[in-house]
Structure 1
């Protein structure tokens, strides 16, 4: 059945100190296996930011179940090839904008827009909100009856520096536009640098894993609450486990956690980001209410490309999984169609997963009757690159224009009539 749970989609960025990999990448589970991952679009980015710092880190993938719209959120920060201000500056008085892309099918994504969490719908600073040093690692939980009137909205939570340390703040929105965003308040402030909260709900409880960078030495720690309105200050949280994933660190740190549930069984995964460049390593739990829920995954089957960094995982249906496979086109079956009487509306392309599929084509015809067609409906057709004035790719280049660097193209010549 096409609407049965099947497969998982991971969004992430890559660590590449010598390149520009702070973009949006998508990996698809190998069938319904949550431990084996296949890079989509040939391992190339699917989306890139040409706004703000031109970086897209710590992405998160979510869906509004009432509208069926998917969203990717990301931090507006470019570390490698950016302004080189350094972590001290990047965490204080820096970008409070959230990168946002949306999609109806997980294949074709909208142009990038930004939402400033320090501003209200009128574009002015929110009255009563603290001065925010930056906006990092936004994640979401959808609440079906947030305001008690039957309508749902996302509770969004992110890291900002407030005063002399980093805290987790929250707000609400229905569609990640400035018009619907409302600042909420402080979700977690423990008096020391605290970043990267991720959450999951199960059986009426809310579980969150957060990274402490302060003197307490707790590292990644998990808390749980039974509060229905878990985002308000009155909610009571109980600490369950600390130093989660520390065995992976080996002299490094672990941060950027993301949690997700396996389909059809009481089995949860927690991927932790081993910094600076190792990337995600897996933890597993079969009982979130155990005394120490999380343990390293002991599996030789686990497969994920190196340097896969801080992202998120969304469970799919069979139809969504298969549609992503069918949109992962590799090359046109025939790249040069030769002379044709009429330009075809669609052409065949090979798929990375095997087989072929037909894709619509948009044609541009020159005065000499030569034509170049761009295949639409493929993952590679999204805006995953940009170029500034005089071809510059510097982060601060004026006149940046986004385009697709991986779109598939065919050529033809229109026969004279």
Structure 2
């Protein structure tokens, strides 16, 4: 049986003086859900080079039948970007969803986007509700979504034609535009509602949502309907003003909730985002069906870096936990790792075989680990005797992901043309190739 161990949090970091609206990861300190370490030295592991170049409200998903991981997020950059302002950002702005995929939570593929306002053919769906933007996407996997099997039911906040913010839903199996199914309205309240998060326990679905219209603040509901996303599903409200005690009773100053269950216990955490820059504060429950299940936790009993903002938490296995810790490389132990000898006229395969396959790096959490090296042999000339220094990049580290970009003209403007993603924190080593 696979051992459940540890938790991984995806989030962004509030920084009004820098470009931190990227994907950050924090990991639990061992199996303790109350103590967290930022991975990659606190630096981001992924950045958006598309559309607004912003990544807010990231969320992690695991597809149970394939084992694939998906990371989805809001396409919005607030600092150093389009100066339209919140009135525009929250009414008629980007309806795109940032998407990345991974097999192991360490190495992430290329970024793509889904326009949730469009159908699988890339054209507007006349049956879909009006969508003015796409904020804070999350999803739950449903085993029997339709006759073709399971699918993710995705939900996010969007403004209707009247400017009022609602929670909308859609469905997908692969988070591609061609596999996207537009849905309908999930939550429609008298005022604006945003930031829904959900969890399923024992056939019941629980959700926490931010109400900006009727002063409920963060409020919790539950439903026993198996198809909880459809209009006929019935929801019962159980608690309001969640987390307001952290801000002197003002329910408007907490948002971005995240729910997760503790391994092997009837114990749940609800993280609430205290705005603008305090970040997550915890609430705890031992019975989700209690009349008011959530209570606040003393700050001293929860160790999380400040300004850790709106994201999500997934449970890990011991194997995944250890792999993430081993991938958290800080610096190479030795920059120049070898001098190798090849014959004049040697082919590329012979040169690669002579070079070290791995290099050692120190880890942020202590200790060392060996990583595969990808050697760059472009321009290497072995036609004549001599020495050439070649460079290699370490693979399989968190810092090897594309965490930055540069435009074709070298510009860093958010709206510059020709942006090229890059891994600015990839670790490099060198070796000398002696041709003789």
TM-score normalised to structure 1 length: 0.97
User: What does 1:311-390 align with in structure 2 at a 5 Å threshold?
Assistant: 311-337=311-337, 339-341=339-341, 342-365=354-377, 366-367=379-380, 369-390=388-409
2:412 aligned with 1:414: no
Cα distance in structure 1, aligned partners of 2:137 and 2:98: 10
1:200 is paired with a residue whose SS is: strand
Structure 1 stretch 110-119 or stretch 140-149: which is displaced more? Answer: 140-149
Cα distance in structure 1, aligned partners of 2:100 and 2:186: 25
Cα drift, residue 156 of structure 1: 0.2
2:138 aligned with 1:119: no
What does residue 164 of structure 1 align with? 163
Cα drift, residue 332 of structure 1: 1.2
What does residue 51 of structure 1 align with? 50
Q: Which runs of 4+ in 1 moved over 3 A?
A: 365-368
Cα distance per residue 1:49-88 (max 9 Å; x no partner): 0000000000000110011000110100000001110001
Cα distance in structure 2, aligned partners of 1:280 and 1:351: 26
What does residue 248 of structure 1 align with? 246
Cα distance in structure 1, aligned partners of 2:127 and 2:146: 21
Cα drift, residue 298 of structure 1: 3.1
Structure 1 stretch 251-260 or stretch 152-161: which is displaced more? Answer: 251-260
2:182 aligned with 1:183: yes
Cα drift, residue 416 of structure 1: 2.0
Structure 1 stretch 339-348 or stretch 37-46: which is displaced more? Answer: 339-348
User: What does 1:43-82 align with in structure 2 at a 5 Å threshold?
Assistant: 43-82=42-81
Cα drift, residue 110 of structure 1: 0.6
C-alpha RMSD over aligned residues: 1.2
1:126 is paired with a residue whose SS is: coil
Cα distance in structure 2, aligned partners of 1:81 and 1:27: 25
Cα drift, residue 299 of structure 1: 6.0
How many residues get paired?
414
Unaligned runs of 5+ in 2: 342-353, 381-386
Cα distance in structure 2, aligned partners of 1:58 and 1:402: 21
Cα drift, residue 129 of structure 1: 1.1
What does residue 310 of structure 1 align with? 310
Cα distance in structure 1, aligned partners of 2:58 and 2:206: 20
Which has the larger Rg? 2
TM-score normalised to structure 2 length: 0.93
What does residue 192 of structure 2 align with? 193
2:132 aligned with 1:133: yes
Cα distance in structure 1, aligned partners of 2:364 and 2:126: 51
Cα distance in structure 2, aligned partners of 1:228 and 1:36: 34
* Equivalent residue in structure 2 for 1:404, among 408, 423, 428: 423
Cα distance in structure 2, aligned partners of 1:202 and 1:256: 21
2:144 is paired with a residue whose SS is: coil
Cα distance in structure 1, aligned partners of 2:414 and 2:247: 32
Cα drift, residue 98 of structure 1: 0.1
Query: Is residue 91–residue 163 contact of structure 2 (8 Å, CA) maintained in 1?
Result: no
